[in-house]
Chains A and B, each alone.
Chain A
Amino acid sequence: AQSVTQLGSHVSVSEGALVLLRCNYSSSVPPYLFWYVQYPNQGLQLLLKYTTGATLVKGINGFEAEFKKSETSFHLTKPSAHMSDAAEYFCAVRVSGGSYIPTFGRGTSLIVHP
């Protein structure tokens, strides 16, 4: 079975500060990992995804994430937070060999202070 754990339901940063949102996964086979963002009253939008190859993945809006197999992690970072980054962020995992149904974490709410 696959699962993801997002540490911290809320993360608060100042505008211009580093953003770090944590995600750890559990999977018995090589995973495919995703980060989605959800703005208020909207659906989820893909930020970035790791499939194979390069472990550092760049996404939209200046976000990036690094796949670390030894740590079973896929943390999301952004060097400098902007007010418009305030949203809910979800980590998700899919594995091959099955129906590829994505499993989502509980989400982390990013709060950006001026």
Chain B
Amino acid sequence: DTGVSQDPRHKITKRGQNVTFRCDPISEHNRLYWYRQTLGQGPEFLTYFQNEAQLEKSRLLSDRFSAERPKGSFSTLEIQRTEQGDSAMYLCASSLEAHSPIDTLHFGNGTRLTVT
């Protein structure tokens, strides 16, 4: 169990640029979640995948955001035309069970995005 890995750890970009983050979940975990965390707030749900299928997206996920999980392994989160309000920590988590409310979410260390 090598844990959930996120890359990069930090990203500084200029407003209007596109950015892409990667998440490698724990191997064989079915579910993969993306959350956003701003200063002084708890993680806010963005979207989740069950294997390769994206099953739910939050209203927080505007049209500028897109996520993929090809082949049900790693996932990418892309933000197009970044805005200063996108500055946050983006957290990825994975869990083993597809239909269990009690399985543990394993979080990565996050990608901190700063939009200047």
Binding site for B on A (CB under 8 A): 6, 9, 32, 36, 41-46, 49, 51, 90, 92, 94-96, 99-107
Contacts and interface: CB of A to CB of B under 8 A. Distances in A.
A104 B43 contact: yes
B102 A44 contact: no
Contacts of A41: 109
Contacts of B85: none
Given A42-B109, A99-B55, A101-B48, A49 B43 contact: no
Nearest to B105: A102
A45 B105 CA distance: 8
Nearest to B10: A41
Nearest to A6: B42
Sorting the interface of chain B by its residue count into under 10, 10 to 19, 20 to 34 or 35 or more gives 20 to 34
Contacts of A94: 101-102
B104 interface: yes
A107 B4 CA distance: 22
Closest CB pairs A-B (n = 7): A43-B107, A104-B42, A100-B101, A44-B107, A94-B101, A51-B102, A43-B109
A9 B40 CA distance: 8
A46 B104 contact: yes
Contact of A101 (B4, B45, B102, B107): B45
B41 A107 contact: yes
Given A44-B93, A99-B55, 7 more contacts: A45-B107, A49-B104, A96-B101, A100-B99, A101-B45, A101-B56, A106-B41
A101 B98 CA distance: 11
A90 B109 contact: no
